[in-house]
């Protein structure tokens, strides 16, 4: 049995924060604002996986009201999500993500992101697709006020 989930996340860019996407710190004068490291790619991935197995989103799993998640690496959250996936008897078939960011240019970091995420998920990097695009200058994403990510996850029930 196969199940599919979709995830989305968006965070505003802010001064004085590191820019972390897919667990990779990217040199840029601004980072994403949020309770954790605000890694929109990993957050959308977590939500896609949780949705695929019928669980509530990361906001319910790891609430902002809990101080233990303040500044936490999203890779730790992904590890915990993977524990839920495996405990439920599922395995990841493939992941397809897109990051929407006007700046910085993300292509040089995509392979690093795939490797980091695949290590946490214990899957081959080839099962992960990450693309980066812009909003062509349109809207708040196009003005460089935020970064967003969408992810689709396919999981399979293990016998």
> What are the extents of the domains in the chain?
2-157
Structure confidence at residue 45 (pLDDT): 98
List beta partners, residue 132: 99
- Report the pLDDT value the prediction gives residue 74, as an integer from 0 to 100: 95
**Confidence at residue 64, expressed as pLDDT on a 0 to 100 scale:** 83
Residues 6+ apart with CB under 8 A from 138: none
Question: Under CATH, which number does the domain 2-157 receive?
Answer: 3.30.1330.50
Q: Which helix (H) or strand (E) holds 19?
A: strand 19-21
Tens-level pLDDT at each residue, the chain (159 residues): 999 999 999 999 999 999 999 999 999 999 999 989 999 999 999 999 999 999 989 988 888 888 888 889 999 999 999 999 999 999 999 999 999 999 999 999 999 999 999 999 999 999 999 999 999 999 999 999 999 999 999 999 987
CA-wise closest residue to 57 among 130, 141, 153: 153
Return the half-sphere exposure (C-beta side, CA atoms, 13 A cut-off) of residue 48: 26
151 within 8 A of 94, measured Cβ to Cβ:
no
């Amino acid at each position: 049995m196969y199940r599919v989930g979709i995830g989305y996340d968006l965070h505003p860019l802010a001064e004085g924060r590191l820019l972390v996407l897919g667990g990779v710190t990217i040199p840029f004068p601004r980072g994403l604002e949020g309770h954790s490291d605000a890694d929109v790619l990993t957050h959308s991935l977590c939500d896609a996986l949780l949705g695929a197995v019928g669980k509530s989103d990361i906001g319910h799993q790891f609430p902002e009201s809990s101080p233990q998640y303040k500044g936490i690496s999203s890779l730790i959250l992904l590890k915990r999500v993977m524990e839920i996936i495996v405990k439920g008897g599922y395995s990841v078939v493939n992941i397809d993500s897109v990051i929407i960011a006007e700046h910085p240019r993300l292509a040089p970091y995509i392979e690093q992101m795939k490797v980091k995420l695949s290590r946490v998920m214990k899957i081959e990097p080839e099962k992960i697709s990450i693309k980066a695009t812009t909003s062509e200058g349109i809207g708040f994403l196009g003005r460089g006020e935020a970064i967003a990510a969408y992810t689709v996850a396919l999981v399979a029930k293990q016998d």
